[in-house]
Structures are given as structure tokens and as C-alpha cells.
Structure 1
Amino acid sequence: MAESKPSSSAAGAKSNVRRFIVFMLFITVVINYVDRSSLSIAAPHIVDELGLSSVQMGFIFSAFAWAYSPLQIPGSFLVDKVAPKVLYPIIIGAWSLFTFMQGTAGSMWQLIIFRLGVGASEVPSYPMNNRIITTWLPEKERATAVGIYISGQYVGLAFLAPVLVWLQSEFGWRFMFYTTGGISILWALGFWILYKDPMKSRANAEEIDYIRQGGGRPEWLKKQHDPQSAQTDVVPFSRLAKSRKLWGLVIAHMGETCANWFFLTWFPIYLVKYRHIEFIKVGFMATLPFAAAWCGVLLSGYISDKLLKKGFSLTFSRKAPIITGLLLATTIIGANYVDSPTLIVVFMSVAFFGSGLAAISWSVVSSIAPVNLTGITGGIFNFVGTSMGILVPILIGFLVSDGNFSPALIFVGCMALLSIFSWTVIMGKIERVQ
């Protein structure tokens, strides 16, 4: 039988440790994305100091994904095998060190090597987030939780971009990397101290039962405790690999991540070099789309779980905000037809708000993944999606090499339409692969 915990509450009220766990994931994602995307803030200064072309900068931007994308599948096997308390602090510490080292770079190739290191180190991070959410959260709370921690990727740049710009202006772009990398190393230690799996945590019996009855997996692989129950959850990898639901999901993710890669790489350069906005102003103007995306992802998770609690199907509850967001993301093309900095940022903010609405697709991974293949499902999902991190920065570099950024924005908008097609035609009903 499944392991149980004695109740710590005489009144039978459940504890809320799972909320603290979601907060920890939020902090981790903020740090993750500040380290991942701080290069885009430093890029205008790096281009000037090292004399790099747009094509060379495109290769530097994409170097992160050269390691991050192809290592998703082998790296995600670790997520199913190694406990979060052990694996997560190790990978946080590793990517933090490579972030720090970017401040020492003196050439294009050194930057590429350090970016490869950041990408390789971050490989298990999002599949690990998904494992933790599957472990700690019932189904009806997952979209909200995913929305909260994914919002961290926008908070980092929405509210910290001005701080990063200020650090550069006062102390130089190298010092910015030293600061972000050093803070991240401290969080690796903090995560190791604070995180515990449900059965080893302060969560009482009522909270554990609430998680379990709602579809969570507080014991992770239940076959360790209830072999007969676990057998029904075990799905061979070959069945998963042939699933139309999986491929519909990952193709949709591939399309919806294009806007993310644009904003995380080329957006500041687009404003400075192609729209001729002063760099100091960019530090504040660039925060608005990220703030909009932050609002979008929080709103999407809340709406999705609210629809589910009101009795709508899981399929409708998840797809409705995602598809709405993707439709809004196509408005990025409108920036091609205005010259006012204010209107440019308005179009960018609406588009990134839509991208935020679509960002809860990670909650669907938890809904379709066989319990014994949660990590690898997340790895496949992230592999196909983040492969765009290789294509998008390089392709944009070539598309804008003649000084015209319009084709790049059209490309990003069209990829949102591809994602809508996959969600509506390929994906089908959202349910666990059996």
C-alpha cells in the first residue's frame, strides 16, 4: 500500500507546503532566465567592443540552444532517475558558473563556448520543474502553478532589465555577468537546503491525501509502494513516441516559442540598431513586453484552472487561453507598419502578452505523460520546442542582414499560426497516454 504520513493537525486541516514549493520554482525560473537572457541586454555593448556582425551575433545567441536542445532527451532521463534535491542544485550551480565566465570572454568563440555551457547545464531544468509539479500538485491546481513559475521567465527581464542596464552603465557588461552568476550560485545552495519531496517534507497527511486524490504523485513512482497500482501507469517508450498527442503538443510548442526566442535574443538590438532608440530608454521600454507576458501567463493559468473547476473539460480549459494567446501573438507583425517608439512597444507588448497566455502548455505535459515517463516526455517536448532556439536567432540574423527587420517579425507571427493549427488539428483531446 502507498506510504502514509501521520497527521500533524488535530483539526484535520491540510498544510500548504506545496505553495512554498511553487514559490521556490518561481525563484529558480527567475534566476534561470536572467542567466539565460542577460546576454541580450549586454549584446549592443558586446557588438561594439568585439566588433561583431549581425550574423556572428546570431550564432552567439543560438549557441545556448546548440547544447540545450539536442541534450534534452538524454538529459531528461536523469529527471526520472535522480531526486530533485540532488540534481537541481548541481545544475543551478553549473549554469551559474558558466554565466559568471561570460564576463571574462574576449572573443566570439569564447562567448560561444560559455553559452554552450549555460545551455548544457540548464537541460534538465524545465523537465525537473514538471516532475516537481506532478509530484506536488493535484491536476486542478497545475495550470495556475505552471503559470506562476513560468511567469518567472518574464519577471526576470520585466523588472530586472533596468537593474541590468544600470549595472552595465555604471560598471560595464562584464560586471553584470559576474553579479548574475554569483547570485545564482548562492541560490543553488539555497535550493539544496530548502527543497524536500512530499513524503519527507513538513506536508501533513491531509495535504498528502489531497495531492494524491487530485492526481498528484507524492510518492513519485508508486510502484515502490503499490506495485499492483503502478503497473497500470507503466507505458512503454515506443507507445509514447508514436502518440499523436505528443507530437501535436511539441509541434505546437515549437511554434509558440518563436516569440520567446525573439524577445530573449534580438529584441534589445531590434530597438537600438533597427529602430534607433537610445540604449538607456531601451532598458525601460523593453520591460513593458515582458511585464505584459508576465500578466498573460498568470492570467492564463488562473483562467484555465477556473474553467476546469467550473466543470469544463480539461481539453477546453487548457486550449482556450492558449489559442487565444497565439492569435494575439500574431500582432507582432503590426510593428512593421508603425514608426512611433510607443506604438512599436504597444504591438510588442500585445504580442508577448499573447505569448504569455500560451505559455501554460507545460501543464498539458503533466496531463498526457505516462507517470513512468514524465521526465522524458518533458524532454521530448522541450527538445522540439527549443530547437527553435537554434533556428530563430540564426535565421533572424540572415533575414535582417540587409538592414530590414520586417521579414523577421513576419516569420515569428506565422509560426504562431502553425502552433494554432497543431493545437486544433493535430493534438486532439488532452488525456494521459495509456
Structure 2
Amino acid sequence: MSDNTTASSGGQTAAPATTGRRVPTRYLVLALIFIITALNYADRSSLSITGTSLQEDLGFSSVQLGYIFSAFSWAYVVGQIPGGILLDRFGARRVYALILGLWTLVTAAISLVGLITTPVLVAVTVIFVLRLLLGVFESPAFPANARVATAWFPTAERGRATAVFNSAQYFATALFAPVMGWVTHQFGWRWVFVLLGVLGVVLAVVWLRWMDSPRHHPRVTPAELETITAGGGLVDLDAPKTGTSDAPKLQRARLDRRTIAKIFSTRALWGVYVSQYAVNALTYFFITWFPVYLVQGRGLSLLEVGFVAALPALCGFAGGLAGGFFSDAMLRRGYSLTAARKVPSVIGMGLATSIALCSLTDSSPLIIAIMTLAFFGKGLGSLGWAITTDIAPPQATSFVGSTMNAFGNVAGIVTPIVIGYTVQATGSFNTALWFVAAHGLLSLVGLAAMGTIRRIQFDEP
């Protein structure tokens, strides 16, 4: 039976028959989390576009701006494990709706800072706190994405699915950087945060009204449900936790101390953590200091930066999609899961190290070309979420995703601060570029430490 057959599942009344090709519901789910993730990254990267104007308006120093850039990640890291526990307990639908609404309010609130005369230290503190809250509220988002992908996609499609939502970070820059640059140029930096707030409210309503688990979603056909289930999708991951016979065992499994101890003693997961940290170091350079580098280091105008920053982002987006599709294509051609996930990762992160070459030239067009290549490679090699969905034990999918995201986003604390101090001490971005490039090599160490990629199974206590 085709995925496109229109019928009902889970005991629901059959839907009317339709003619023509029907888009599988899992692809619509993926489109929705892609759009939400793009907004997620637009929110967290908004200061990279507005940072120069905000710095001039409120009087921040480079070090203060570096700390503000890092504030998000301090809270984002701390919030990962509690966020994962909430997801394992309450499911992605409810948790995602709540956090999307909360992070939207915090983003919009930044527009109010400094409307009345405010001492610099007070303004720094207020924005720092708001960015901390943004980090807390966004912390479950990517683990929720991974949880949705684990439930809605068979293993052979999961590389593509995770690549699509992960590549939203590049699409966000490609789409929103020019828009935010133009809005800042025309109306001022405050209106960027108002715009993002309005978009967040709309998406929170759409998510809450339309999203459900695969087995209970009214649009899912029996054929599509069979495709997902037979292919290894955990369709009951967010099913109601009842005591009836149809309640899946993985939902009744407990995330206890014994399981957590096993997770933190598993070498493969530590390989994922190290690799994700390295990948995120490049990400956070791009969404924090890169636009500032173009303004202060290369002399571009703010309006030019919005469009120039979109070029590496578009190539990062293309690389992210290419990595996922390349990985799944290798699986279809009979390569092992380990080879299918690692080969694109190694190639991509090798290319990402080319960012160091920017320190060897004064040509702005050549620098943009190198950045474009580096971020294509970074996108190609960003398969950490696919690997996590492949190896996480069923009773702790969100917990493992959250711990991976926590370790990975320590880079969001370290990278902006190190670059801030480096730029202030040297008056140049050259050392900072070498620092960022070194993380491409670190990611290869993590990939080697993973060993064979397969789902971890823990016996129930």
C-alpha cells in the first residue's frame, strides 16, 4: 500500500478519499519543524546583525558584547538536561508549544531595553538576563526536533530529516540576515525583535493546533504508519502512557540513575559530544562574531553585511542538505550505517578548517569565498543529530539528545568570549580565525572515538 493512500489509523474514522498525489504527513511535519528551527536561529542570531547598532546606541565595549553573545549559551547548556527530561516525560507537542511561546516573549522584550535613558551597565545586565532566559526556553528545541524525527521517520530517511531541520540554521541566516539588516538600517534595531516576536506567536499557535504523534495524527494513513514503523521509526514515542496492552514498552521504561550512569560511560556518546562541540564552535562564530568581523575587520556597511552573510549561509544550507542526502544514499547502496554517517562528516569538517586561510589574505571577495567553502563543509559534516537518533537508547532519546546538545553548546559559551578577548587584545581577527578552524580537527577526533554506530540497548533494571 502506498504512503499516499488516504485512510485512517488508530481506530479513527476513515477520511474521505482524495485524488492525485498526497504528500506524506511526515514531510509536512518536517517542514513545520524546519520553519520553527529557522525562527529559533533567527532569534538567537539576531544580536549578530543588530550588535553593531546596539553597541553604538547603548555604548557597549567589545568584551561586554562578547559576554552578551555568550549569555544565551550559558543558559542553553544548563537547560539541556532538564529540557530532555521534560520531553521524555511530557512529549514534544506540549513542551514545544510552551517553549516557543516563552522564547518569543523574551525576544520581543529586548526591543524595550534602553527606551528610557539607562546606564550602560544596567543595559548590559538586562540584555544579558534576557539572553539567559532565551537560552533556557530554547534549550529543548533541538532535542524535540530529534525526538520528532525519531518518531516520524524510518532510519533510512532520518539522515535527510535531521539534515533538513539542522540546515534551518543556515537558511535562517540566508533569509533573515538581509531582512534584519534592512530593518535595522531603515527603522532601527528594536524593530527586528518586534518582527521576530510576531512570527513566534503565529508559529506557536500553528504547532499546538496541528501537531500530534504519528499514530494519533488524523492525516496519517495506515500505509504511512506502516512505512515508518517497519523502517524503525518509534511511532509511539509520545503516545499516552497508559497501562493497557497497546502502551509501548519504551514509554513505560524509566530514565533512572542506572540508565543515566550507563549513558555517561558509553564511549560512542562521548565521541558524539566532542564532535558536536567542535561543530558548534564554527556555528557560534558564524551567528555571533562573523557579521561584526565583516563590519570591523573588513569595513563593510551594515546593509552590505546582511546580504554578504547570506552567501556562506546559503552554502551551509546546501551543504547541510547534501550531507543528509549523501548519507542516506550511502545506506541505500548498501554501505554500513557507520560509513554512511562518518564519510560525509569527515569530508565536511576537513573543508571547514579552510576558514583559517582568511587570515592570510586582505581580499574581501576571497575571504567571502573561503567562508562560503568552510560553511558548506561545516553543513556537510553536521550529522551529529542523525547519529544521535541512530544510537540513543529508546527510553532516553531526548535525554541523550539534550546531553549532546549541552556539551555541544559549551562552544557557544567559550567561542564568543575567547574571540572577544582575542580581538580586544590583538586588534585583529586573525588569531580568532585559527582558533575557530582548529575545531574542524577536533571534530575528527570525536568521530574516531564513536566507533561503530548502532542503537544502544540497555537492559531494564
TM-score, scaled relative to structure 1: 0.95
Instruction: Tell me the distance in 2 between the aligned counterparts of 1:72 and 1:226.
Output: 31
Instruction: Tell me the distance in 1 between the aligned counterparts of 2:278 and 2:172.
Output: 23
Partner of 1:242, secondary structure, is coil
Asked if 1 retains the 8 angstrom alpha-carbon contact of 2:236 and 2:248, the reply is no
The worse-fitting range, judged by mean Cα deviation, of 223-232 and 133-142 is 223-232
The worse-fitting range, judged by mean Cα deviation, of 176-185 and 294-303 is 176-185
Asked if 2 retains the 8 angstrom alpha-carbon contact of 1:17 and 1:203, the reply is yes
- Residue of structure 2 aligned with 1:220, choices 231, 234, 237: 237
Asked if 1 retains the 8 angstrom alpha-carbon contact of 2:152 and 2:235, the reply is yes
Instruction: Tell me the distance in 2 between the aligned counterparts of 1:69 and 1:10.
Output: 47
The residue number in structure 2 matching 1:413 is 437
Asked if 2 retains the 8 angstrom alpha-carbon contact of 1:61 and 1:393, the reply is yes
Instruction: Tell me the distance in 1 between the aligned counterparts of 2:247 and 2:63.
Output: 55
Partner of 1:47, secondary structure, is helix
Partner of 2:381, secondary structure, is helix
Give the C-alpha shift of residue 278 in structure 1: 2.2
Matches within 5 A, 1:112-131: 112-131=128-147
The residue number in structure 2 matching 1:207 is 224
1:365 aligns with 2:388: yes
Asked if 2 retains the 8 angstrom alpha-carbon contact of 1:294 and 1:353, the reply is yes
Q: 1:404 to 1:373 in 2, by over 3 A?
A: same
Matches within 5 A, 1:388-399: 388-399=411-422
Q: Deviation string for 1:268-327 (max 9, x for gaps)?
A: 100101121222211111110101100000111111001001110000001111111100
Runs of 4+ in 1 over 3 A off after TM superposition: 3-11, 221-235
The residue number in structure 1 matching 2:355 is 332
- Residue of structure 1 aligned with 2:29, choices 21, 24, 49: 21
Asked if 2 retains the 8 angstrom alpha-carbon contact of 1:326 and 1:354, the reply is yes
Instruction: Tell me the distance in 2 between the aligned counterparts of 1:374 and 1:341.
Output: 44
Q: Deviation string for 1:8-47 (max 9, x for gaps)?
A: 6999x99711111001110111110111111110001011
Instruction: Tell me the distance in 2 between the aligned counterparts of 1:371 and 1:62.
Output: 33
Q: Deviation string for 1:154-180 (max 9, x for gaps)?
A: 111112211111111111001111111
2:406 maps to amino acid:
F
RMSD: 2.1
Partner of 1:431, secondary structure, is coil
Matches within 5 A, 1:132-211: 132-201=148-217, 202-211=219-228
The residue number in structure 2 matching 1:45 is 53
Q: Unpaired runs of 5+ in structure 1?
A: none
Partner of 1:267, secondary structure, is helix
Asked if 1 retains the 8 angstrom alpha-carbon contact of 2:173 and 2:313, the reply is yes
Partner of 1:291, secondary structure, is helix
Asked if 2 retains the 8 angstrom alpha-carbon contact of 1:277 and 1:341, the reply is no
Asked if 2 retains the 8 angstrom alpha-carbon contact of 1:99 and 1:180, the reply is yes
Instruction: Tell me the distance in 2 between the aligned counterparts of 1:234 and 1:140.
Output: 28
Q: Deviation string for 1:223-262 (max 9, x for gaps)?
A: 8545796599878222112100110111111111111000
1:41 maps to amino acid:
I
Asked if 2 retains the 8 angstrom alpha-carbon contact of 1:221 and 1:371, the reply is no
2:366 maps to amino acid:
L
Instruction: Tell me the distance in 2 between the aligned counterparts of 1:102 and 1:76.
Output: 27
Overall identity of the aligned pairs, in %: 37
2:210 maps to amino acid:
L
Q: 1:101 to 1:324 in 2, by over 3 A?
A: same
Q: 1:362 to 1:9 in 2, by over 3 A?
A: farther
1:57 maps to amino acid:
L
Asked if 2 retains the 8 angstrom alpha-carbon contact of 1:328 and 1:350, the reply is yes
Q: Unpaired runs of 5+ in structure 2?
A: 1-8, 115-122
Instruction: Tell me the distance in 2 between the aligned counterparts of 1:297 and 1:182.
Output: 28
Give the C-alpha shift of residue 84 in structure 1: 2.2
- Residue of structure 1 aligned with 2:112, choices 81, 95, 104: 104
Partner of 2:78, secondary structure, is coil
Q: Deviation string for 1:315-354 (max 9, x for gaps)?
A: 0001111111100000000100111110110111111111
